[in-house]
Structure 1
Amino acid sequence: MQLFTKDELKKLAVNVFTAMGCDRQDSETAADVLVSADIRGIDSHGVSRLSGYVSLWKAGRINMSPKVEIIRERKSTFTINGDGGLGLIVAPKAMNIAIERAKIYGSGWGAISNSNHFGIAGYHAMMALPHDMIGMAMTNATPFIPPTHSKQAMLGTNPIAYAFPTLKQKPLVIDLATASVARGKIEIAKRENKEIPLGWMVDKDGNPSQNIDELLDGGMLTPLGSLEELGSHKGYALGSLVDILTGVLSGANYGKWVPPFVPFLPLLPDLPGKGLGHFVGAMEIEGFRPASEFKDSMDHWIESFKNAERIDESQEVFVPGEKEFLMEEERSLTGIPLNDKVVQDLEGLCKELTINWL
């Protein structure tokens, strides 16, 4: 394990994206999305993902100079064609448009097609916070999850994020996968040779498994809720909600046709849409009640939940997103740890792209 500062990792990511053909501003944005995951402790979606983006770029699956454009719009709603670009670039552009629409119409909603993996959903939702708005972001993803009673992968981890501004407390950020676990956490467990909990995945026949290697032989992740008796049908429904808003509504691919995040898996024939899809939104709080009152009430809400009666006095009650803010404070002081395997991969990327290592 090695420690790095946020600035070091951001500089590295900027150099990698620039070497792939991104302009400087887009490279800065993409790097900021990735490093925001690392600093907040979401290691599965940080700079460890750089090798995946490079592989897709080399395979011709990512356009590093996209012409992102609005192809349909009404007052508060719009659809964007991402032109095959990085979701790390396309989604922030869409969110900025949603925020500007919300300033005029009270809310802004954007459906995005023809994009790629967009990093952590929470980053995009949190863009609304400085504007006294509630932010929302979601995306569909590589299909790794079967519907309840099926053994065919039809849905991705399909994350949802909402961000709520506050007065004195840290903002409340809900950012969750609609799967039992993000695939990146499985990858981390494999790198660190750790056992995963029963219920995170199933084998190719749909039976519960803890053998990570079976993911390479048709194994799949489970919907949020894990097994049917534990509520997997609810996770399946939430994943479907995301897939419809991000894929069907935008004109992107959906279901089993969503493009995989690895170049060695081919695209399926008869694609119903273009690329991968996102959906973003911003709601101006002033349209509902004074923003200052809402934020004061949010502080009170957070404090009441923090003071909820504990099962064990030594175990603190956390609100959504709190652990990530605490991790950000810690890593800002102590540094961001990267697994030795990740460091090796990043050093290899630097050699491959002929850029300087840190």
Structure 2
Amino acid sequence: MTFHTFTETRLRNFTKSVFLRMGCSATDADLATDVLLRSDLRGIDSHGVARLSGYIRLWEKERINATPNIRVVHETPTTATVDGDAGLGLVVAPFAMKIAMEKAALYGSGWVAVKNSNHFGIAGYHALLAVEKDMIGISMTNASPLVAPTYANERLLGTNPMCYAFPAGKYPPVVVDMATAAAANGKLEIAQRANQPIPDGWAQDQDGQGTTDPNALKNGGSLLPLGSDKDHGSHKGYGLSATVDILTAVLSGANYGPWVPPFVAFLEPSANPVGEGLGHFFGAMRIDGFRPAQDFKDHLDNWIERFQNAKTIDPAKRVIIPGEPEYAFEQERRIAGIPLVEPIVNDLNELADKLQISRL
């Protein structure tokens, strides 16, 4: 597989020019760019600039509003519901997380549900905003229905990621950022571009049989919940995914389950929606609402060290702290640059030609 490496600045300038061409304000273009670049920096390549063409296709279909009027439509001192006005989730989500943090600063915790939004990038970006303020951050979203619940042969849920981020002291934050499916759809897309099979347990074909075909979804198959199949704990992944769907959409007034609008532009949203757009859910909790923040961070450092020194099956390996690989990627890529596979580079250059902006 051929890779091309780009500096963060070059990718940032290119990405911002795409969002400006969509009609986003300079402020929104900067923010949307920051969310996507953070994904690439953290090694989550499926949710970074590789998604740009998808956003453009949805914008061309008038399913993304480049100049949304994002507003609070329901509120209490510690909770709120935000209407994203069909804006980029990359912009709507930080707006909502900021409200959760403001409420937490005043009352100890803040909780915000969002409707009428779109794909919001990596959940970790939004949860980490709270960490900067000595808060625990929670971020989740529902997504296009690609996952079959345990025992089903029908797509009813999204990959529905959730993230919990905790500030440490001398160590990087502990960041539990994961899809509630066995694998995110972006990983299948990466396998498709590389023409490689996917691991057992990620997907089933249109007949409900396990498959390693990276094109399973295009051929009528579905992703499996976290835990793979019914014999390996898929009911737990199904339960987590259901929790995300209920908090993000049933609570906010967004579409849920099979009514969630698809990210791909060639599939049309349901003709009979049960809500508005995609849904998100955010939480921020002040650590000093429970104990002094420094005490918590000192003990989280101790927690990290104990797990890092756990006895392992293979002496050459050690227990990985959640968020540790992504942090390492970020430190490395800020210096060495961000690698993109050739098909992504070609796709982005075709997009540049289409939008009449400078190529990468």
Report TM bin, short chain: over 0.9
Query: How many aligned positions are there?
Result: 358
Compute the displacement of 1:105 (Å): 0.7
SS in 2 for 1:324: helix
Q: How does 1:1-358 map to 2 (within 5 A)?
A: 1-358=3-360
Q: Is the 8 A contact 2:203 2:216 kept in 1?
A: no
Compute the displacement of 1:267 (Å): 1.3
Q: 1:82 is matched by which residue type in structure 2?
A: G
SS in 1 for 2:231: helix
**Deviation string for 1:274-314 (max 9, x for gaps)?**
00000001000111000000010110000100000111111
Compute the displacement of 1:268 (Å): 1.4
Compute the displacement of 1:195 (Å): 1.6
Taking the aligned partners of 2:276 and 2:211, their CA distance within structure 1 comes to 33
SS in 2 for 1:308: coil
Taking the aligned partners of 2:60 and 2:115, their CA distance within structure 1 comes to 21
Compute the displacement of 1:213 (Å): 2.3
- Which 4+ runs in 1 deviate beyond 3 A? none
SS in 2 for 1:213: coil
**Deviation string for 1:85-144 (max 9, x for gaps)?**
000000000001111110001001000000000000000000001111000000000000
Taking the aligned partners of 2:234 and 2:259, their CA distance within structure 1 comes to 22
Q: Is the 8 A contact 2:310 2:318 kept in 1?
A: no
Q: Could you list the runs of 5+ residues in structure 1 that have no partner in the other structure?
A: none
Instruction: Give the CA RMSD over aligned residues.
Output: 0.7
SS in 1 for 2:276: coil
Q: Is the 8 A contact 2:93 2:120 kept in 1?
A: yes
Taking the aligned partners of 2:138 and 2:8, their CA distance within structure 1 comes to 25
Q: 2:166 is matched by which residue type in structure 1?
A: F
- Structure-1-length-normalised TM-score: 0.99
Compute the displacement of 1:6 (Å): 1.3
Instruction: Name the stretch that deviates more: 206-215 or 43-52.
Output: 206-215
Taking the aligned partners of 1:171 and 1:15, their CA distance within structure 2 comes to 32
Compute the displacement of 1:214 (Å): 2.7
Compute the displacement of 1:148 (Å): 0.8
Taking the aligned partners of 1:214 and 1:144, their CA distance within structure 2 comes to 11
Taking the aligned partners of 2:316 and 2:151, their CA distance within structure 1 comes to 40
Q: 1:310 is matched by which residue type in structure 2?
A: T
Q: 1:330 is matched by which residue type in structure 2?
A: E
Q: 1:130 is matched by which residue type in structure 2?
A: E
SS in 2 for 1:251: coil
Taking the aligned partners of 2:113 and 2:95, their CA distance within structure 1 comes to 12
Taking the aligned partners of 2:338 and 2:276, their CA distance within structure 1 comes to 36
Compute the displacement of 1:2 (Å): 0.4
Instruction: Name the stretch that deviates more: 285-294 or 311-320.
Output: 311-320
Taking the aligned partners of 2:202 and 2:105, their CA distance within structure 1 comes to 41
